[in-house]
Amino acid sequence: MSDAYIKNVWYMAAWQEEVDEAEMMPRKLLDIDWLLYKLENGGYAMIRDRCPHRFAPLHMGRRCGDLIECGYHGLRFAPDGKCVSNPFSDLIPPGADLPSRKIVARWGILWFWAGEPSEADEEAIPDFAFLEETAPMAQKHIRMDANFEILSDNLMDLSHVEFVHRDSFQSGGALMKGRHEARSEDDGTIWSCWSVEDVAAPRFAVPLADAPADRWTRMRWNAPATMFLEVGAAPAGAERTDPRVCRLRNPHIITPETQTTSHYFYNCFPGPESEAFAKRVFDEEDRPILEAVQREMDGQDFWEMRPVILNVDAGAVRARRRLSKMRREEAESVAG
């Protein structure tokens, strides 16, 4: 695994339903091909998707209960990655065990710990309990040809909505009239928040109709790129505890596939119209600009390129600096 990836942290591997619906699901995460599958006891396994004998992908094999049988020469592997059967001998050859990762199901998300499984701290999984408190949503996953920090920058600076999503959200420059605040918490959580008063209500705030509204967005970031977005609106001048307040909460979780590609997990209202709208926003609006940024950077270091920093970049810059600090700390820990 590249040192560019933080190891002692939780990443999203998949939506739980993705794996539940598949006998075995291969997915490249952090430059490594993994195999995800549901166990007969309801738990989950995550092992390297490559047989150590002749390097055949294990997802081309078959399930034998909770064991995975390689489709090339029949070695079988347990959910912890241990090779437990050699069809040609009673002996298991040295080096036949596979890497595995601790994987936990919570709030419909499968989280994996990128470091040593024995060091995994489930209390450190970011809180997405709101996913169980809202109406069922359509769970989505897309790939983007861009580094995960480029996608994180995009989400931590929602001012891009005024330009990239001008036609879709029709905010009419509302954010440019508002106030932006970025703040950090002791546990490493970073918030990037916007508020704007006495403007048109967002389209999802149907109860507010055409009345003037106070609007806000709150993006919460946890390393490496695990984000939660709340968009809200209240009648102009009302408190956020007002019963007429409308809120929309969504996960925006990025997991690196490689250094130049990422998995993007989000949800949206179910139904053809809302799902098509979300697909257009991500595929036709975000994707072209973010993938173009990746091509322009072409492997260069972000800071060495000397980017111009705007006041609206405060949240994104804090997130990048937090990741840099975590990388240094992990490197120093390994060095001893």
Instruction: Identify whether residues 47 and 147 lie together within a single domain.
Output: no
Predicted local confidence at residue 2, as pLDDT: 46
Identify whether residues 118 and 147 lie together within a single domain: no
Which 8-state DSSP code applies to residue 126?
-
Domain termination residue (choose one: 84, 101, 122): 122
Peptide bond into 224 cis (omega under 30): yes
Q: Which domain holds residue 172?
A: 134-332
In a domain, 129, yes or no: no
Same domain, 154 and 267: yes
Is the residue at 289 inside a domain? yes
21 found inside a domain: yes
Dist. CA 257–CA 261, nearest whole Å: 5
Q: Do 206 and 174 belong to one domain?
A: yes
Residues 163 and 294 in one domain: yes
One-letter amino acid of 255:
T
Q: Tell me: do 195 and 155 sit in the same domain.
A: yes
Q: Please state, for a pLDDT cut of 70, what percent of the chain lies above it.
A: 95
Q: Determine the Cα–Cα distance for residues 283 and 319; give it in Å rounded to an integer.
A: 24
State yes or no: pLDDT of 1 exceeds 50: no
CA gap 226, 211 in Å, rounded: 34
Q: Are residues 113 and 242 in the same domain?
A: no
Q: For position 235, what pLDDT does the model report? A: 82
- Tally the C-alpha atoms within 13 A of residue 83's C-alpha that lie toward its C-beta: 22
- Are 236 and 299 members of one domain? yes
Within a domain: residue 127?
A: no
The pLDDT confidence band at residue 203, using thresholds 50, 70 and 90, is low
Are 143 and 188 found together in one domain?
yes
Of 122, 150, 175, the residue at which a domain comes to its end is: 122
Same domain, 78 and 200: no
Q: How confident is the model at residue 200 (pLDDT cuts 50, 70, 90)?
A: confident
Residues 323 and 301 in one domain: yes
Domain contains 299: yes
Mean pLDDT is lowest, of 87-91, 209-213, 275-279, for: 209-213
| Digit-coded pLDDT (tens) for 113-143 | 999 988 999 999 999 999 998 889 999 999 9
Regarding whether 151 and 273 lie in a shared domain, the answer is: yes
Q: What is the pLDDT of residue 170?
A: 61
Query: Could you give the C-alpha distances from 32 to 82, 101, 116, 256, in angstroms and in order?
Result: 18, 12, 15, 10
Q: Residue 191 in contact with residue 182, Cβ under 8 Å?
A: yes
- Among the candidates 122, 156, 188, a domain finishes at 122
* Residue 324 placed within a domain: yes
Confidence check: pLDDT of 208 > 80: no
**Does 4 map to a domain?**
no
Q: Give ∠ CA 270-196-192 in degrees, rounded to 5.
A: 70
Whether 206 shows a pLDDT value over 60: the answer reads no
Residue 161's pLDDT is 87
- pLDDT band at residue 59 using 50, 70 and 90 as cut-offs: very high
| Euclidean distance between CA atoms 163 and 86, whole angstroms | 59
pLDDT-based confidence at residue 213 (cuts at 50, 70, 90): confident
* 189 confidence band (pLDDT: 50, 70, 90): very high
Overall pTM surpassing 0.85 (yes/no): yes
CATH number of the domain encompassing residue 290: 3.90.380.10
